[in-house]
Amino acid sequence: MINRRLIRIKTFQALYAYNSLKGENIKQAKKELSLSIIKTLDLYFLLTKLIVDIKDKAYQKIENNKAKHLATELDLNPNMRFVDNLFIAHLENNEQFVSYCNAKKISWSNHNGFVEKIYQLFVESEAYEKYMLTKPSFKEDKKIVTFFYEEIVGNCTEIIDLLEEESIYWTEDFEFVVNAILKTIRVYKENDNSNKILVELYKNEEDQKFAQDLLEQSIKSHKENIALIEKFTKNWEIDRIVQIDVLLMEMAITEFVKFPTIPIKVSLDEYIELSKFYSTKKSKTFINGILDKILNTLKEQGKIVKKGRGLIGQV
């Protein structure tokens, strides 16, 4: 699930915290990074459970209507299209989903007001009304759940505020996790059984190792990297350069030197892209210029040795 871009973001945040907390050691920093990444998986299952809770709310309203003293014909014979959604039924029976939610106590029970609001937004939508008139099919059932996450959840600013209050780790994760859920829906097949793995935290062991190594090597290479940055920023005092810019450049240099299989262009593009979101308007140009000079020096010194796919896209 988690990709290299998000790994770099999480590592950058862990490195920023490490530099801010002078007493922290590498072991603590790596533990914090691991926790941050695991929280992304927690968010995946929390948001996935939301559609199950919405379905449960719909079912409870149907039962309440049936129990009314003066129940109407519609109350007694309701449209069960949504509560019988086949994809949601698959989720409720999925072993990974059930096990993870139980183990982590994943729940929306403390946010009943929010669940009610988002339920109303959903059932009052034109897409929901049209869906309720369709014939039962797995394709249509996945389609309405996709709509729920793309349009209802994806455009709900209230949920973002709520999640940020729940965990400091979820500030950057929301859009990424929603996309991961949409991918799960897209690839899920009607004949998939209950032991299907919905999501893996890491794509492979290499990505898991990359996360820990990038943080550790960035910390260990700090003095050497800072010396390089200072060499090419003589017109600025290092203390007056935006701290975020310095950290992004440190991480980029670490990747240039310590990760032989990652192409130079990939690393360069990634950290310039991150500067657009986390630093100033001028940072992109500044970082690009300094890293270009540092790259030339490192090449001349023979400190950059790329191999395998790391040779692709060298500059």
Let me know: does 125 contact 178? Beta carbons within 8 Å. Answer: no
CA distance 151 to 178: 11
Give residue-wise pLDDT tens across range 59-108.
Answer: 999 999 999 888 888 888 899 999 999 999 999 999 999 999 999 999 99
Q: Is the pLDDT of residue 36 over 90?
A: yes
SS3 108: coil
Per-domain residue ranges of the chain? 4-187, 221-311
C-alpha triplet 184, 175, 83: angle, nearest 5°: 50
**CA 112 → CA 95, 107, 109, distances in Å?**
25, 10, 6
Nearest to 17 by CA among 4, 7, 32: 32
94: β partners:
none
CA distance 141 to 211: 37
Range 221-311 has CATH code 3.10.180.10: no
CA distance 191 to 194: 10
Let me know: does 43 contact 163? Beta carbons within 8 Å. Answer: yes
**Section 138-159 average pLDDT:** 97
CA distance 139 to 272: 41
Q: Could you tell me the pTM of the whole model?
A: 0.91
Let me know: does 315 contact 293? Beta carbons within 8 Å. Answer: no
Nearest to 162 by CA among 123, 119, 116, 108: 108
Give residue-wise pLDDT tens across range 158-167.
Answer: 999 999 999 9
